[in-house]
Chain A
C-alpha cells in the first residue's frame, strides 16, 4: 500500500479558503446564490437560446426567479426533506428548480431524460419523490405512465404547456403558474422560506444522483453541501476559473459532472451557464458561445474528429493537402508549444502559419476557439484523439473521477498532460493503491451514503472514509501520475496467465473513425475475440463515395468491403498491442461486425454509453461461441427495444472475420 497526500503552499491556501467559506456562512447553494445576487448582481448567470436569440438572466434576476419558484413550491406543500425529481434537457429553468428545491429544504434528484418508463419508475419510487419537475409533454407522459407504481408521487410541474391542454390538471402545474402563485403569496411564505434557507447546514443533503451502474440497479448517491461546495471550490481554484468564464451546459443533468460544473462551480465562481436551444443545435450553439471551460466525454471528441475527417475527405485537393501537411506539423510540435516547452524558431513560425491557415479556423468551427480549460473524462480517450486536439493548441486535459467522489479524484495540471495517465490527486484528495491494484481515495467530496442501501455503502466506503473505486491502476514512479488500467473487475487473466485488459484494446480500435464501439472477450480463454460496431456516419459516407448501395445499418455492417477494412484495422491494432509486453496476449484473433448498434434502450450500455459487458456477453452468447469454435458464419436473432418502449426482433447471418495476429508465443516461451 502506498499513499499520496497533497501538500505544499496551495494546500494550506485551500485550508484557509475553506474556513473562510464557513465563516462567511456560505454553507449551501442557496446561500451562494444570495451572495452572487449581491456581489455579481449584473453579471450574466444563465443564457439560453430560444426563438433564435440568446436570452440572458443576471444573477439578480436568476435569484428572483428561483425565489418565486421556491415560494410556489411551499405554496404547493413541499416539506423539508421531500425529494423533487428533475427530468429534462439542460434549461435554466431546470437548474433553478434544483436550487429552489434546496431553498425549501427539499432534495433535488435529477434523472436522465432519455431513461425509459421502467427505469424512471424505479428511481422515482426508490427515492419516493413527491414532486417531479419536467420539461415537456414527452416527460409528462412517461411519469403518468408509471404513476400507478409511485405511491408518494403527488404533483408534476411542467415547463412547456404544448400538447398538455387536454390533460387532467388536478396534479399537473405549469412551472410559470407555480412561480406566479409564489410571487402572489410572497408576504405569506417569505418568512418560511427564509427560515428553511437558514436551517441548511454544511452537512445537509445538497443533491442525490443516481449512478447509472454497469451492473445492477441504479444507486442513489447522497452528496452533502460540503461535498459539492468543497469540490467545486477546489477544482475552480485548481484551474483558476473566474467570473468571466463561460460554459455550455449540454451533458445530462443527472450526471454528477454536469451538477458540479453547471451548478457547483457556477455558483462558487459566478460564471455563466449557457444552455443550447435543442440537442440538435448543440454544435451551432457551442460555436456561438465559444466556451472558455469545456467538458465532454471522449465520445463527443471522437464524433467531432470523425466529422472533421469526413469533411476533409470531401474537401478539394488543395485544402485537403494543406490540412494534412499542417496537421502533421501540429502533431510534431503542437503539444510542446502548448506546454511551454522549448521549440525551434522555424517550427514555431510554421506553427503560427498553420494556426492562421488551419488550426485557428478549425478550432473556431469546432467551437473551441476560446477554450482555456477543457476536460475529458468518463472513459479513457484514444491517445491519437487526445493528441489531435492538443496539437491544435486546445488545452484538453484528463481527469479521473466518479459520482461517489463528487467528480474529482485525480486531475492533470497544466503542462503535465499526457494521454495515458489521469494526472495527480486533486486538491485535498488522498489516494492509496491496494495490493490487488484497486484504487482507493478519501476527500472532502467523498459521498455521504447510498440512499436506503447501507450494505452497498459499507461495501464501498470503510469506517475511515476510504472509498473503493473498482478501478485498477498504479502511480508512475517518475511523474507521480496515476495510470488506470481498467475496471478492476474487468481486468482478468488469459488461460496462459497473461493479463487481460479489454479496454486497452478497445480504445485502440475505437480510434478508427469507422469503428464506433468495440467489445473484447477473452477472460480465461486462450485467445481474444471482439465485437465491432461500425460508425454509421463514417462508413455511410465512405459507402456513398464508393458507390456502395445499402438499405439499412444491418446491410452496411455486413458488407464484405466493410468487413475487409475492419479486418485491416484489427490487424494493425494487433501489431501495436503486441508491442506492449504485458498485454500482448490481448490481440484479437477473430471478430464480428454486429448487425445492430449497442444501445442503452436494450440495456447493452449505460445511459452514459459505457458497455455493460456481462449483459452483452449473455445476450450474444451464441455469437461468442461461434467466434471461438471456428465457424465462418453465425445466424442469430436479437431482441431490440424501440425508443417508445415497443419491442421487436432482428435476425441476421453474420460473417466472422479473421485478423492477422503477431506471434508472441515464441517470446513468452523464451521468457519462461
Chain B
C-alpha cells in the first residue's frame, strides 16, 4: 500500500486522495462464531468503496466495525492516521461519519423535513432553554440548519414530500429520506448499508445517480455494501469481496470481476 500513499486517479479522471480509514487485521467474533477473520483494507479520500459478498459473508458486521458500533476482538481501525479508540455513537458522528441502515431507521411519525433536521443535531449547540424560548442564538442556528437541510432536500429531489410524515411514504422514497438525513450531517465518510435493497430497476438507477452525485458534488467518501453486482461494478472505484468472513478479493471492479476466487464464491465451484 505504501506505493499508493498519495492516492490514484480513477478511470473517469477523478483524483483520489490519501487513506482516510484503514482496517488492520480485523477479527470479530460473536461467541464461537467468527464473523470477520483477519481482514485488512483501506478507504481513501473521495472514493466510492464497495464491500460485497454472498449472504452471511460478514458485510454488515464489517460496516458496523467501520462505524464503530462493533469493537473487533483483534486488529485496529485507523482513522486519519491514528488508531481509533472505542467510541460512543455520538462521538462517531462528531468525527464526520454518517450512515444509512439496511432496514430503514427513520422517525416514522415525523415529517421528512424533521427527519432530515435530526441529521443536523450535532451542529446545534444552543441549550434547551434558549431553544424552547426560540430566542437569539437558537433562532439563528435553526435558520442556518434549515438552510442546509433544504439544500439537501433539493439535491435529492424530495421537495414534494417535505411535509409528509415518513410513515406514509413508499419504500424507495424512505430510502432516499434516510440518505438525506445522513447527508444533513455533512459527513466526511458516508456508510450505506444496502442502499438499493428491495428497489426496482428505476429506483436503483435513481439511487445510483444520487450516490454518484453526492460523491461528485460534496467530495464525500462513500463506503457501501451492496448485493446487486451490476450496481456495485458501475458505481464503485474499488471493491472488497468477502466470503465466510474472509477477504477473497480487493481491487478495481475489473480486477475483482476476473478474480477466480470471486467467481467461485459467486457462481459456485463444481464438485470434482
- A: which residues have CB within 8 A of B? 50-53, 162-163, 165-166, 277-278, 280-281, 284
Contacts and interface: CB of A to CB of B under 8 A. Distances in A.
Given A280-B160, A281-B160, 13 more contacts: A51-B153, A51-B154, A52-B150, A52-B162, A162-B213, A163-B216, A163-B217, A165-B217, A166-B12, A166-B13, A166-B14, A278-B157, A281-B159
B209 interface: yes
B258 to A, nearest CB: 26
A163 B159 contact: no
Interface of B: 12-14, 113, 146-147, 150-151, 153-155, 157, 159-160, 162, 209, 212-213, 216-217
B197 to A, nearest CB: 21
Nearest to B155: A162
A50 B160 contact: no
A35 to B, nearest CB: 35
A552 to B, nearest CB: 12
Nearest to A51: B150
Contacts of B150: 51-53
Contacts of A52: 113, 146, 150, 153, 159, 162
B159 A280 contact: yes
A50 B209 contact: no
Contacts of B212: 163
Given A162-B217, A163-B209, A51 B151 contact: yes
B217 A278 contact: no
Contact of A278 (B159, B209, B213): B159
B180 to A, nearest CB: 13
A82 B261 CA distance: 61
Contacts of A281: 159-160
Contact of A277 (B13, B155, B159): B159
A278 B160 CA distance: 8
Contacts of B154: 50-51
Contacts of A278: 157, 159-160
Contact of B147 (A51, A165, A277, A280): A51
A367 B49 CA distance: 47
Contacts, number: 37
Nearest to A163: B213
A280 B158 CA distance: 9
A284 B153 CA distance: 16
Contacts of A53: 150
User: Which 6 A/B pairs are nearest by Cβ-Cβ distance?
Assistant: A280-B160, A51-B150, A52-B150, A281-B160, A277-B159, A281-B159
A165 B159 contact: no
A165 B153 contact: no
A558 B12 CA distance: 48
Contacts of B155: 162
A52 B146 CA distance: 9
Among B146, B154, B157, the one with the most A-chain Cβ atoms within 10 Å of its Cβ is: B154
A262 B39 CA distance: 62
29 contacts: A50-B154, A51-B147, A51-B151, A51-B153, A51-B154, A52-B113, A52-B146, A52-B150, A52-B153, A52-B159, A52-B162, A53-B150, A162-B155, A162-B213, A163-B212, A163-B213, A165-B216, A165-B217, A166-B12, A166-B216, A277-B159, A278-B157, A278-B159, A278-B160, A280-B159, A280-B160, A281-B159, A281-B160, A284-B160
Contacts of A280: 159-160
A281 B159 CA distance: 7
Contacts of B113: 52
Contacts of A277: 159-160
B135 to A, nearest CB: 22
Contacts of A50: 154
Contacts of B14: 166
A52 B153 CA distance: 9
A281 B163 CA distance: 11
A236 B163 CA distance: 37
A166 B13 CA distance: 8
A485 B216 CA distance: 56
Contacts of A51: 147, 150-151, 153-154
A509 to B, nearest CB: 31
A281 B155 CA distance: 15
A280 B154 CA distance: 12
B207 to A, nearest CB: 14
A315 B209 CA distance: 39
A51 B162 CA distance: 10
Q: Which one of A52, A277, A280 has the greatest number of beta carbons of chain B within 10 Å?
A: A52
A277 B213 CA distance: 20
A537 to B, nearest CB: 15
Contacts of A166: 12-14, 216
B133 to A, nearest CB: 24
Contacts of A284: 160
A561 to B, nearest CB: 26
Interface centre among B150, B154, B159 (most CB of A within 10 A): B159
Nearest to B216: A165
B191 to A, nearest CB: 23
Contacts of B12: 166
A278 B13 CA distance: 33
Nearest to A279: B160
Nearest to A277: B159
A277 B150 CA distance: 12
A427 to B, nearest CB: 40
Nearest to B157: A278
A162 B14 CA distance: 16
Contacts of B217: 162-163, 165
B64 to A, nearest CB: 32
A163 B213 CA distance: 6
B221 to A, nearest CB: 17
